[in-house]
């Protein structure tokens, strides 16, 4: 039988049946006379088995009754019988219809976004900008939208000097070129330098302007150290002042740390709320999102994948880390560590180029509050530039 014949036989279906008892030879003759296409007739101890197309089997009983034979089915083969078990399973049909529609839309669908020669660290950030501009797996190809998205992303991400999104065979290829950082332009407006702290000058290096103090001299806070005024004949011109003035300074910082306090801290419970984004449609995959004002929220996008196979859709994931007010009890040792860290932070944010020579911290515990006072002797740059 040819392949086409086999296929048509499978589609139409066939029945392998047995005829027993009576005048079964007569039944064969009747089938022949009535042009029933019977095949594979094989004798059995009590009759025969044969194969007929399923559409003829119903009529055979009439002839079998005349021959006093009993018929029963041995095996049913064919597409109809194979698919019979799938009856009323409308989901499969709906899936097939969806797949057909998807196949029609496929040439215009964006299946994935590829980043060409962009470091993986930058890809996430760029992906977020692209998503905000409407470029994501699952969107329909729209050249105008792609061009406008390029402009939007360029404005939103100044770290790039040039961007290109190209639609190539179902994927968006993103190319980017990093922007050259702006050169630092020195402001040449006239300035003078005063002392930011009271101390004794250890070292003074004047790059521009005229230094009024030398090393070893003491200075008070706000005292003029370098001036930009220069006299040439009768003319006084004000220029820019630039200097490095290192001085010995003495400073004190105080901080208070409560041993018992209430803080908002993560409870460890993390909830994820996913939304399916496809062809401009947004389908939330959750009933309701619970989110409090204190919670830490992180939003990211990931392509929809099934067993590693990327589908043309994007899943927007909203990750909510639950935070709640928590009473914290510190030990004295812990409070001292916190206090020292706070004092150091205050010191380094107050002075520049600090080199600590001596450091002394006094702690006082009173009513559950630890008060720490730090006395330091250090060298630091005390130059403060002031515009004229």
Partner 1 sequence: MKKYKLKKEKNTAAGAIKSLFEKMPQEIYSHPSIVLRCDGYVQIENCKEILLYNENSITLNMGKINVEIEGSELEMCSLSKGFIDISGKIFGIKYIYKE
- The answer to whether 200 and 247 are in contact (CB under 8 A) is yes
Nearer to partner 1, 52 or 313 (CB): 52
Q: Which of 15, 18, 28, 374 binds partner 1 (CB under 8 A)?
A: 28
CA distance 313 to 272: 18
**Closest approach of Cβ 23 to partner 1, in Å?**
10
> How many Cβ atoms sit within 10 Å of the Cβ of residue 334?
14
Nearer to partner 1, 47 or 137 (CB): 47
Q: Which of 9, 15, 38, 257 binds partner 1 (CB under 8 A)?
A: 38
Residues 41-100 that bind partner 1 (CB under 8 A): 41-45, 48
- The answer to whether 31 and 63 are in contact (CB under 8 A) is yes
Does residue 119 bind partner 1 (CB under 8 A)? Answer: no
Nearer to partner 1, 53 or 170 (CB): 53
Does residue 368 bind partner 1 (CB under 8 A)? Answer: no
User: CA of 285: how far to CAs of 136, 275, 276, 282, 294, in Å?
Assistant: 18, 5, 7, 10, 24
CA distance 18 to 70: 8
Does residue 12 bind partner 1 (CB under 8 A)? Answer: no
Q: Which of 11, 32, 97, 296 binds partner 1 (CB under 8 A)?
A: 32
Residue closest to 302 by CA, chosen among 174, 169, 113, 153: 113
Nearer to partner 1, 22 or 134 (CB): 22
How does strand 112-116 pair with strand 171-178?
A: parallel
Residue with tokens 């919670």: 295
* Axis crossing angle, helix 120-132 with helix 143-156, rounded to the nearest 10: 120
The tokens describing 248, both together, are 């010995």
Span from 28-36, 200-208, 290-298, 373-381 in contact with partner 1 (CB under 8 A): 28-36
Does residue 290 bind partner 1 (CB under 8 A)? Answer: no
Nearer to partner 1, 35 or 58 (CB): 35
**What CA dihedral angle connects 212, 215, 348 and 376, to 10 degrees?**
-130
- The answer to whether 193 and 213 are in contact (CB under 8 A) is no
**Closest approach of Cβ 43 to partner 1, in Å?**
4
Q: Which of 39, 262, 282, 302 binds partner 1 (CB under 8 A)?
A: 39
**Closest approach of Cβ 36 to partner 1, in Å?**
9
Nearer to partner 1, 41 or 140 (CB): 41
CA distance 224 to 238: 15
Nearer to partner 1, 53 or 134 (CB): 53
Nearer to partner 1, 50 or 133 (CB): 50
Does residue 35 bind partner 1 (CB under 8 A)? Answer: yes
Q: Is 310 exposed, middle or buried (0-12, 13-18, 19+ CB in 10 A)?
A: middle
DSSP assignments along 58-87, one per residue: HHHHHHHHHTT-EEEEEEEESHHHHHHTTT
Q: Which of 24, 115, 192, 301 binds partner 1 (CB under 8 A)?
A: 24
The tokens describing 166, both together, are 């190209």
CA distance 27 to 50: 11
Does residue 325 bind partner 1 (CB under 8 A)? Answer: no
Q: What is the DSSP letter of 308?
A: T
Q: Which of 33, 117, 187, 366 binds partner 1 (CB under 8 A)?
A: 33
Span from 27-35, 144-152, 249-257, 373-381 in contact with partner 1 (CB under 8 A): 27-35
Nearer to partner 1, 39 or 298 (CB): 39
Does residue 25 bind partner 1 (CB under 8 A)? Answer: yes
Q: Which residues bind partner 1 (CB under 8 A)?
A: 24-25, 28-29, 31-33, 35, 37-45, 48
């Amino acid at each position: 039988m040819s392949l086409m014949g086999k296929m048509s036989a499978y589609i139409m279906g066939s029945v392998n049946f047995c005829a027993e008892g009576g005048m079964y030879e007569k039944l064969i003759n009747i089938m022949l006379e009535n042009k029933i296409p019977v095949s594979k007739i094989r004798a059995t101890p009590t009759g025969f088995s044969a194969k007929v197309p399923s559409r003829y089997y119903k009529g055979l009983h009439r002839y079998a009754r005349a021959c006093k034979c009993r018929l029963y089915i041995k095996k049913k083969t064919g597409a109809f019988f194979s698919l019979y078990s799938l009856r009323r399973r409308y989901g499969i049909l709906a899936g097939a219809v969806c797949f057909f529609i998807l196949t029609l839309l496929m040439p215009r669908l964006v299946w994935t976004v590829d980043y060409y020669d962009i470091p993986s660290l930058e890809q996430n950030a760029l992906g977020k900008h692209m998503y905000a501009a409407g470029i994501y797996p699952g969107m329909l190809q729209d050249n105008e939208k792609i061009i406008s998205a390029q402009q939007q992303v360029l404005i939103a991400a100044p770290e790039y000097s040039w961007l290109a999104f190209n639609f190539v065979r179902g994927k968006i290829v993103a190319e980017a070129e990093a922007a050259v950082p702006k050169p630092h332009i020195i402001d040449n407006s006239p300035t003078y330098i005063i002392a930011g702290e009271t101390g004794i000058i250890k070292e003074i290096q004047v790059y521009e302007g005229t230094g009024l103090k030398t090393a070893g001299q003491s200075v008070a806070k706000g005292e003029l150290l370098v001036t930009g005024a220069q006299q040439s004949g009768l003319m006084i011109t004000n220029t820019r002042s630039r200097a490095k003035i290192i001085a010995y300074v003495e400073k004190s910082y105080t901080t208070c740390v409560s041993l018992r306090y209430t803080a908002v801290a993560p409870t460890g419970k993390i909830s994820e709320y996913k939304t399916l984004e496809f062809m401009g449609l947004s389908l939330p995959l959750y009933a309701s999102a619970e989110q409090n004002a204190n919670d830490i929220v992180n939003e990211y996008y990931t392509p929809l994948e099934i067993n590693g196979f990327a589908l043309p859709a994007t899943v927007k994931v909203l990750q909510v880390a639950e935070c709640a007010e928590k009473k914290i009890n510190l030990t004295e040792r812990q409070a001292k560590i916190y206090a020292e860290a706070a004092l150091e932070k205050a010191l380094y944010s107050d002075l520049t180029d600090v080199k600590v020579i001596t450091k002394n911290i006094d702690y006082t515990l009173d009513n559950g509050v630890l008060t720490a006072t730090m006395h330091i002797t250090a060298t630091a740059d005390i130059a403060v530039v002031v515009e004229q």
